């Protein structure tokens, strides 16, 4: 890369920033059932379980600053440009590969970093071992050349740097899954696009990530959420003054109107739990608010919320 940083250096340096690259014509084309949300989530958005949302929560819980979520179409040039730029700018990048005949993710990422696509023998062996036919399907013949077998092979033909150890480039964090996490250029992590598998592998990878965090205990970032009956315009002046006052302490103040509802949400986000606890009573008083039980932010429905006094 232009910075002169090697893939091995990227794979070992501390992780402070992250980015997520969403690839797919179905996303940009508004295909039914395909959902993508902004990472700055409102209470309504938070209920949409997407890979970007799962990744945002994962980063938040580990104290990693998610800087960017970007969507590009299934176009090689677009993918190449985006993944090169993200790998250069951020410590940890995720994208997803779809198990379909026309997916070009692996091919495009390989081209971005001038790497060949090479059959990963371990992944292929695990695929054969763990893949089970459905009750209405015939037993698959792994030894006979066929369009189906060639399609399966493409799923384990992965961007590979022959000059680096394979164990640094392909992670198998879940023993019951044959699909690996391909780590390209040291910091681009390619996960399967199926949300259940995406989340499972992300969680499985967590122990290997913890030593590389600036907070090695993985305490993450703390969010205090407050429900207020006051309108955005009513609390805006106070929150502006508060934001300027607490910013030097590393605290961000957020205000999220819930359109059509009787109550809105104010948030305080930072890493210093003790400091957040000292300013929370003041904020509760000034916004006539009630504290939302930690971990229950996504369960807000209309004006019914579990509150702690």
**Does a structural domain hold residue 70?**
yes
Q: How far apart (Å, rounded) are the C-alpha atoms in residues 36 and 39?
A: 9
Same domain, 183 and 256: no
Rg (CA), the chain: 22
Residue 7's contacts (CB-CB under 8 Å, 6 or more residues apart) are 113, 161, 164, 185, 186
> What tokens does 57 get?
């929560």
Same domain, 103 and 232: no
Q: What is the pLDDT of residue 148?
A: 87
Residue 76's CATH number: 3.40.980.10
Q: What is the pLDDT of residue 217?
A: 62
Percent helix, strand and coil across the chain, each rounded to 5? 40, 20, 40
Q: What is the pLDDT of residue 90?
A: 96
Residue 227's contacts (CB-CB under 8 Å, 6 or more residues apart) are 263, 264, 265, 289, 290, 291, 292, 300, 305, 307
Q: What is the DSSP string of 104-159?
A: -HHHHHHHHTT--EEE-HHHHHHHHHH----TTSPPP-TTS--HHHHHHHHTTEEE
**Per residue of the chain (309 residues), what is the pLDDT tens digit?**
456 899 999 999 999 999 999 987 555 554 534 433 333 333 333 344 578 888 998 998 898 999 999 999 889 999 999 999 999 999 999 998 765 545 789 999 999 999 999 999 999 999 999 988 788 878 888 989 998 898 889 889 999 999 999 999 999 999 889 989 999 999 999 998 888 899 999 999 999 999 999 876 656 788 999 999 999 899 999 999 999 999 999 999 999 888 778 889 999 999 888 999 999 999 999 999 999 977 655 555 444 443 333
When divided into structural domains, the chain yields a total of 2
Q: What is the pLDDT of residue 234?
A: 93
Q: Give me the domain span that covers residue 227.
A: 222-292
> What tokens does 180 get?
């690996």
Q: What is the pLDDT of residue 33?
A: 41
Residue 210's contacts (CB-CB under 8 Å, 6 or more residues apart) are 62, 216, 217, 218
Q: What is the pLDDT of residue 2?
A: 52
> What tokens does 85 get?
């730029």
């Amino acid at each position: 890369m232009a910075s002169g940083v090697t893939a091995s250096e990227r794979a070992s340096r501390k992780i402070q920033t992250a980015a997520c690259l969403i690839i797919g014509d179905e996303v940009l084309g508004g295909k039914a059932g395909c959902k993508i949300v902004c990472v700055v989530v409102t209470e309504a958005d938070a209920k949409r379980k997407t890979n970007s949302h799962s990744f945002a929560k994962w980063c938040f819980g580990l104290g990693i600053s998610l800087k960017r979520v970007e969507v590009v179409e299934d176009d090689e040039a677009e993918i190449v440009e985006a993944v090169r730029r993200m790998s250069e700018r951020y410590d940890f990048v995720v994208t997803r590969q779809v198990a379909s005949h026309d997916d070009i993710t692996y091919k495009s990422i390989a081209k971005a970093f001038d790497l060949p696509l090479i059959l990963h023998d371990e992944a292929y062996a695990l695929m054969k071992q763990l893949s089970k036919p459905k009750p209405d399907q015939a037993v698959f013949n792994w030894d006979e050349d066929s369009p189906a077998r060639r399609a399966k092979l493409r799923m384990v033909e992965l961007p590979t740097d022959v000059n680096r150890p394979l164990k640094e480039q392909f992670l198998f964090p879940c023993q019951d899954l044959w699909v690996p996490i391909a780590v390209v250029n040291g910091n681009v992590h390619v996960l399967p696009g199926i949300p259940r598998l995406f989340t499972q592998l992300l969680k499985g990878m967590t122990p290997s990530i913890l030593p590389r965090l600036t907070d090695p205990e993985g305490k993450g970032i703390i969010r205090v959420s407050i429900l207020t009956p006051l309108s955005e315009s009513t609390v805006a002046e106070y929150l502006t003054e508060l934001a300027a006052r607490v910013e030097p302490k590393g605290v961000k103040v957020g205000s999220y109107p819930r359109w059509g509802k009787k109550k809105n949400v104010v948030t305080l986000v930072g890493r210093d739990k003790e400091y957040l606890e000292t300013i929370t009573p003041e904020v509760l008083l000034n916004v006539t608010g009630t504290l939302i039980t930690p971990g229950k932010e996504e369960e807000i429905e209309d004006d019914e919320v579990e509150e702690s006094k």
